[in-house]
Amino acid sequence: MGQAAMQEIATIPGMQVLRGMFANIINSPIQRFAIALDQVAQKKA
């Protein structure tokens, strides 16, 4: 394993940061969908 590969491994964020990033990726489309539904409801009201 070369120095470049070891450097890449060393710069991987911690597990808690990775979990937060994953949760943000999953939550983003859901949040946009909820906002769109709210805007439709406001137009109909």
Domain region containing 30: 13-44
Q: Is residue 2 part of a domain?
A: no
Q: Is residue 4 part of a domain?
A: no
pLDDT value of residue 1: 81
Q: Is residue 6 part of a domain?
A: no
DSSP string, 3-30: HHHHHHHHTSPPHHHHHHHHHHHHHHHH
Give pLDDT < 70 ranges for the chain.
none
Q: Is residue 22 part of a domain?
A: yes
Tell me the whole-structure pTM to 2 decimals.
Answer: 0.58
Q: Is residue 40 part of a domain?
A: yes
Q: Is residue 3 part of a domain?
A: no
State how many domains the chain has.
1
